[in-house]
Amino acid sequence: MEKKFENVLVLDTRSEYDNALSYVMQLIGEATANGSLSDPEADNEYIKEIGRIGHLCADYEDNKIEFKYITREKSTIIESLDYA
C-alpha cells in the first residue's frame, strides 16, 4: 500500500478533498480485494489509513462544505440530543 497525504493534517481545498476521497475509495477497493476488511476486529494498515483519511475528509465536510439540505442549526440540535 502506497500511503498518500502522509504529512497532511487538514484539507484546505475542494481539490485536496476530492483527491483524498478518491484515495479512500482506492484503499477500500484494495483492502476488499486482498481480504484486509474481512475481519471487523482487524487492526491493519489499511484500516488505519482509511480511518485517518476519512477523518480528514469528515473535517473538511464539516468545516468547508455547505450542504443544501443540512443547516448548522439542525446539526447542532441533533448533536445536543441525549440518547442515554
Average pLDDT, the chain: 83
> What's at 39, amino acid-wise?
D
Read off the pLDDT of each residue in 16-38 and give the average, rounded to a whole number: 93
Contact criterion met (CB below 8 Å) for 61 and 75: no
Domain ranges of the chain: 14-80
- pLDDT category at 84 given cuts 50, 70, 90 is very low
Task: Look at 82 and 58; give whichever has higher pLDDT.
Answer: 58
- Whole-model pTM? 0.73
Q: How far is CA 30 from CA 24, 34, 37, 59, in A?
A: 10, 6, 9, 24
- Rounded CA-CA distance 70/68 in Å is 6
Q: Quick: pLDDT tens for 42-75.
A: 888 999 999 999 999 999 988 887 766 656 555 5
